[in-house]
Amino acid sequence: MYYLGKEVVTVKISFEQDATLKPNEIEVLVRAAQLSSDVTTLLTTLGQLENRRQTLPVTVDDTVVLLAFDDIVAVEVFGDQLTIHSQTKDYTVRGQLKTMIEKLDNNNFIQISRNSILNLDKITALEAEFSGNMTARMQNGLKLTVSRKYLGDLKQRLGM
């Protein structure tokens, strides 16, 4: 039982696996006897979850910049320095790639090498290399090497 709006309602929650959906897709169906204010409240809440803008706070000098996940193209690590590539600018901060992967816990990001992650929505092309690796061309012109170790995961996430 949940308190939605002004009255207590019974909400039944179940899970149904659907292999026709993509790995980063979730379909939610709300069933009720009628469209009530409680149902409308629930639909509004679910809609807000879908439309929330996720941001990554990045401290540059004395300023905290909030980068929208949608604006992040890729993240690379060199030693203890992370370079966050956005659509328009690169930000260099101290940190670990592992920590950044946790912060970008979002279905659009995937690790492609020991030192890189990228935003799947920002890939414009994948090119094969002689070594068995691939090069990912990104919307901002960045080229990243996808190592063989991570290539299978990338292909699966892209539906290849």
Helix (H, G, I), strand (E, B) or coil at 113: strand
| Class at the top of the CATH hierarchy for domain 55-158 | mainly beta
Q: Could you tell me whether strands 116-119 and 109-113 are parallel, antiparallel, or unpaired per DSSP bridges?
A: antiparallel
| Over residues 23-28, mean pLDDT | 79
Does the pTM exceed 0.85? no
Question: For residue 36, what are its two tokens?
Answer: 């009530």
Helix (H, G, I), strand (E, B) or coil at 49: helix
What confidence tens digit (pLDDT) does each residue in 34-93 have? Answer: 888 878 888 877 776 655 557 888 888 888 888 888 899 999 999 989 999 999 999 999
Average pLDDT of every residue of the chain: 84
Confidence check: pLDDT of 9 > 80: no
pLDDT at 147: 93
Residue ranges covered by each domain of the chain: 2-51, 55-158
The residue among 35, 34, 57 whose CA lies nearest residue 44 is 35
